[in-house]
Chains A and B, each alone.
Chain A
């Protein structure tokens, strides 16, 4: 029987699967991105329903429970994702600034002589 936390995780994974598919249909994700994110949510679903598949790793790394390992992995994943997002936002910001300044100069309205 599924525990409360497992039900929440399953609902979350299913919602994310649906959203990933929706974004792909809207052409906001490439096929590669679709495969990556769907694999991630399917893995989460599998681990949630059959947590025992993690037992060998849990034992190897001396964690008490599979949940502890998942929490640590989630933190690592979020940290990496935050860093990548930060770097991309910074780059986009810089490009946008250059673009805006170039547009302003190109469309300059010079004083009538």
Chain B
């Protein structure tokens, strides 16, 4: 049943409502996966009249997005948009993704690598870009961006096993492995909370995971 947005949310009661209001304008259905939040994230999502799934405990972003995507596909989604719950992405940019999905399997949002992006993130992203290009032949400048869209039929091929932030990179790795078509689209980003999201430690974990995926073949 058309285009679904999947939003994994963890303790996002303050930011979620405007994100949902924005996203609803561009997709047919929205599913929020509350990944074991301790605040009122689920209630905010229910009040916004979208589909809500709740993990009784926190499993991580990768697991939450997987739950949401599988639910959306079971309900008949044919295009899926992934967008962060913290309001760092502009829902107005969703149409740019959807128009490109007519010719490619997956579209990656790419943030500007300017002074707004924290230095650690800029450096880590550049490193992971080099890694993915050398190891898997996929050249996506922003390997960690959570704003993406893909065709539902591509999901079995890009399905990730990582529960945490490595999901984004694993998705890229799978794109390279299965030679899926992809495009990048420039996106605006607002950084709200520097204590959330991918940390330097996550970056190291992701790099190790990539190596292990390469060794596994």
Contacts and interface: CB of A to CB of B under 8 A. Distances in A.
The 6 tightest CB contacts between A and B, nearest first, are A104-B53, A109-B52, A101-B67, A111-B51, A100-B55, A108-B53
A104 B51 contact: no
Contact of A105 (B30, B46, B50, B71): B71
Given A97-B63, A101-B66, A101-B67, A108 B57 contact: no
B175 interface: no
A105 B53 contact: yes
Interface string A87-104: 000000000110011011
Contact of A104 (B30, B50, B67, B163): B67
Contacts, number: 46
A109 B70 CA distance: 15
Contact of B67 (A105, A110, A111): A105
Contacts of B140: none
Interface of A: 96-97, 100-101, 103-105, 107-112
B54 A104 contact: yes
Nearest to A109: B52
A111 B49 contact: yes
Contacts of A97: 59, 63, 163
Interface string B195-217: 00000000000000000000000
Contacts of B105: none
B70 to A, nearest CB: 7
Contacts of A101: 55, 59, 63, 66-67, 70
B208 to A, nearest CB: 17
Contacts of B74: 105
A112 B49 contact: yes
Contact of A109 (B30, B46, B63): B46
Given A97-B59, A101-B66, 19 more contacts: A97-B63, A97-B163, A100-B55, A100-B57, A100-B59, A100-B63, A101-B63, A101-B67, A104-B53, A104-B55, A104-B56, A104-B71, A105-B70, A108-B51, A108-B53, A109-B46, A109-B51, A111-B30, A111-B49
Nearest to A99: B56
Given A97-B163, A100-B56, A101-B63, A108 B71 contact: yes
Contacts of A109: 46, 51-53
A108 B52 contact: yes
Contacts of B53: 104-105, 107-109
B33 interface: yes
B29 interface: yes
A4 to B, nearest CB: 42
B57 A104 contact: no
Contacts of B59: 97, 100-101
28 contacts: A96-B57, A97-B59, A97-B63, A97-B163, A100-B55, A100-B57, A100-B59, A100-B63, A101-B59, A101-B66, A101-B70, A103-B56, A104-B33, A104-B53, A104-B56, A104-B71, A105-B53, A105-B67, A105-B71, A108-B51, A108-B52, A108-B53, A109-B46, A109-B51, A109-B52, A109-B53, A111-B49, A112-B49
